[in-house]
Structure formats: structure tokens, C-alpha cells
């Protein structure tokens, strides 16, 4: 069984009806990057930079540059998506960067809000990422975006950093795509109002589910209240996917939902074409994709969206589970 699965590392992530689905990997260490590469990931869809900030001192531009450059080199020409700092709330640090006295950390100064409030730290990180673009295709992904202003401000920083580095004589990429995480409901709902200022989007279901259902992602007491199997979640996902598709912007899902093979048919039905997941789940999801008939699943999306509760969604999942997955 394990061996059968391992054989899939050299096989395409192609549906029964011949459509190639792109599977990227989420990574936060050298080992993750090496594994992603070995398993045939299309690239890194989410490189979490928080681990660089787990020590007692802040990493400087050079230390960050070396880490990002190594990811770009490790992926040998495949796309690497580096997420800017997403510290705060459940992602604590020891550098003293994140505030510790907020009454509601999950609703506080975290992610891009924190970065924009600490201009010198954001600039050092952006410079490190842009310098790494000289070593392989790099994209910048912004966490916790709630609206257009944050992307516009980040795009301006990226532009200025590119100009500075070029005049300092650094070799940088011609184009560095800028993307927004869609993980705050306001960003999902207002996407048509800022999709023109992003090059791609990535849906973070871990936080999107938390904020949409008002259910803490780490509170065990909530049991099944924290779940992507809620009609509001599926409708919002379908909406976001449809908007990105209509505007021809690449869209991936990088939350845990993308890495759970039992959700693969459901996500394909909703129109998802790019997955980003922990390398440990890559082959299982590839196997699930290879057992799916995309055209048939897409035709059953209306029935899925009509489900009125979790039981209805689970019934759809049972009826559409691939025979051999």
C-alpha cells in the first residue's frame, strides 16, 4: 500500500478525463522543500517564514535572503511562493515582535497588519525575498489581507524595493507576482474589488473557516463546530474560485482542507485547479485526483451547493467518493 502510493511520485496529477491538476507543497523547512521536490510538486505554494522568527533575535535581511535563496535553488526552477510574516494570534514568536497584551489576538495586529505597522521589518523581508528572485521563480504571498488597501500598500513597497535593489546592482527577476491569501471573510467577499491589483490568490481555509464560523481553529471544545463542511464555507469557496477563474488569475488552496484526500472530489467539483499541501499528504491527494472524473464532478456542483447542512454535504461526499480511493 505504502509502496503503491510511493510509485505515484513520478506520475502526473491527472484526472480520469485527462485534466492535469497542479499540486504545490506547503513548506517551512529544508526537509519539506527536499521532499516536495522529490515527490514531484509543481512548486512551493506556501513557504511559511514564521519559523525564521522563532529565535530570540530578529533575523536580518541577509539571514532571510539565504533562507529564501536556498528554497529557490532547492526547487530547481519550479515556482516558490514565499509568504510574508504571519506572526501573531496562534503563531507566537519570541522576538517580541507580536503584541502579547491584545484582548483578542486572533482579531488583532497580526499578519500583514503587523508588517505594515513595522515598516523597517517589512522592508527587510521584502528585500530578502526580491533578492532571492535572482535564483529561481519567486512569488510573494501576503497573509491576513482584509481589503484592497493592504495589497496596494504592499505592491508599492515591492515596487520600491525592486527599484532600490536594481540600482544597488542586484540581479533580480523581471517579474515577481504578488498574491493575497484569502482567509478573512471580508477579503473573500470583496475580492472583485481588488483582484485587479493581485497576480494570484491563495485560499487559507484554516483561518477562513475560523473567521467565517466564529470558531477558534485551536479550541478542541468546539468539536465539529470548526469544520469546512458548512454550507457557508462551500458557497464562499465556490464564489471565490469563480471570480478568480473569470478574471484569469491563478487560485490555489493552501489550508489543511486541500491536503485531506476525502475532500478532493468536493474541491474539484467547486472548480479548484491548484492545491497546496503538506508534502506528507501529496501522494494521497494525487491518488484521489487520479480517481476523479472532473467533468462529472463539475456537473454535480449545484447539488453540492444545495446541501443545507453538514449531513447533506457528507451525503454528497459519499455519493461522489471515487471507487478506489
Whole-number Å distance between alpha carbons of 165 and 12: 38
Distance, first Cα to last Cα, the chain = 12
Whole-number Å distance between alpha carbons of 295 and 314: 20
C-alpha cell at position 305: 451547493
Q: What is the DSSP letter of 214?
A: T
What does 28 interact with, of ligand PEP, Mg ion, none (CB < 5 to 8 A by kind)?
Answer: none
Whole-number Å distance between alpha carbons of 151 and 140: 11
What does 158 interact with, of ligand PEP, Mg ion, none (CB < 5 to 8 A by kind)?
Answer: none
Cβ–Cβ < 8 Å for 72, 135: yes
The interface region with Mg ion, picked from 1-9, 59-67, 152-160, 201-209 by CB under 5 A, is 201-209
What does 13 interact with, of Mg ion, ligand PEP, none (CB < 5 to 8 A by kind)?
Answer: none
Cβ–Cβ < 8 Å for 98, 88: yes
Per CB under 5 A, 32 contacts Mg ion: no
Binding mask 248-287 for Mg ion (x = CB under 5 A): ----------------------------------------
- φ, ψ dihedrals at 280, nearest 5°: -65, -20
Whole-number Å distance between alpha carbons of 168 and 160: 12
**Scanning residues 158 to 187, which ones bind Mg ion (CB under 5 A)?**
183
Given 113, 147, 190, 206, the residue binding ligand PEP (CB under 6 A): 206
Given 205, 264, 281, 320, the residue binding ligand PEP (CB under 6 A): 205
In the complex, minimum distance from the CB of residue 301 to ligand PEP, in angstroms, rounded to a whole number: 22
* Residues binding ligand PEP: number (CB under 6 A): 10
The interface region with ligand PEP, picked from 54-62, 168-176, 198-206, 263-271 by CB under 6 A, is 198-206
Residue 140: exposure state from Cβ atoms within 10 A (0-12, 13-18, ≥19): buried
**Scanning residues 84 to 143, which ones bind ligand PEP (CB under 6 A)?**
86
DSSP, collapsed to helix, strand or coil, labels residue 219 as coil
What does 190 interact with, of Mg ion, ligand PEP, none (CB < 5 to 8 A by kind)?
Answer: none
CB atoms within 10 A of CB 175: 11
Given 43, 179, 204, 228, the residue binding Mg ion (CB under 5 A): 204
Contact residues: ligand PEP, CB under 6 A: 46, 48, 86, 183, 204-207, 254-255
Contact residues: Mg ion, CB under 5 A: 183, 204, 207
Amino acid at each position: 500500500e505504502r509502496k503503491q502510493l510511493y510509485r505515484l511520485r513520478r506520475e502526473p496529477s491527472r484526472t480520469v478525463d485527462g485534466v492535469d491538476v497542479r499540486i504545490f507543497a506547503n513548506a517551512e523547512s529544508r526537509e519539506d522543500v527536499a521532499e516536495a521536490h522529490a515527490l514531484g510538486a509543481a512548486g512551493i505554494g506556501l513557504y511559511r517564514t514564521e519559523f525564521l522568527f522563532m529565535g530570540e533575535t530578529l533575523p536580518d535581511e541577509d539571514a532571510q535572503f539565504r533562507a529564501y535563496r536556498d528554497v529557490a535553488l532547492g526547487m530547481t526552477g519550479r515556482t516558490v511562493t514565499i509568504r510574508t510574516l504571519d506572526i501573531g494570534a496562534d503563531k507566537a514568536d519570541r522576538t517580541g515582535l507580536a503584541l502579547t497584551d491584545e484582548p483578542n489576538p486572533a482579531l488583532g495586529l497580526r499578519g500583514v497588519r503587523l508588517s505594515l505597522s513595522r515598516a523597517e521589518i517589512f522592508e527587510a523581508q521584502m528585500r530578502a525575498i526580491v533578492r532571492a528572485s535572482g535564483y529561481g521563480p519567486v512569488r510573494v504571498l501576503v497573509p491576513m489581507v482584509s481589503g484592497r488597501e493592504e495589497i496596494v500598500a504592499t505592491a508599492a513597497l515591492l515596487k520600491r524595493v525592486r527599484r532600490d535593489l536594481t540600482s544597488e546592482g542586484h540581479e533580480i527577476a523581471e517579474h515577481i507576482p504578488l498574491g493575497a491569501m484569502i482567509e478573512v471573510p471580508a477579503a473573500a467577499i470583496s475580492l472583485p474589488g481588488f483582484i485587479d491589483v493581485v497576480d494570484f490568490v491563495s485560499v487559507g481555509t484554516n483561518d477562513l473557516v475560523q473567521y467565517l464560523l466564529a470558531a477558534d481553529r485551536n479550541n478542541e471544545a468546539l468539536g465539529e463546530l470548526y469544520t469546512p463542511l458548512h454550507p457557508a464555507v462551500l458557497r464562499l469557496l465556490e464564489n471565490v474560485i469563480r471570480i478568480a477563474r473569470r478574471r484569469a488569475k491563478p487560485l490555489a488552496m493552501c489550508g489543511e482542507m486541500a491536503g485531506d484526500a476525502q475532500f478532493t472530489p468536493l474541491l474539484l467539483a467547486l472548480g479548484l485547479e491548484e492545491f497546496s499541501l503538506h508534502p506528507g499528504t501529496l501522494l494521497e491527494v494525487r491518488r484521489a485526483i487520479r480517481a476523479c472524473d472532473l467533468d462529472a464532478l463539475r456537473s454535480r456542483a449545484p447539488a453540492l451547493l444545495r446541501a443545507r447542512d453538514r449531513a447533506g454535504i457528507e451525503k454528497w461526499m459519499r455519493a461522489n467518493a471515487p471507487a478506489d480511493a
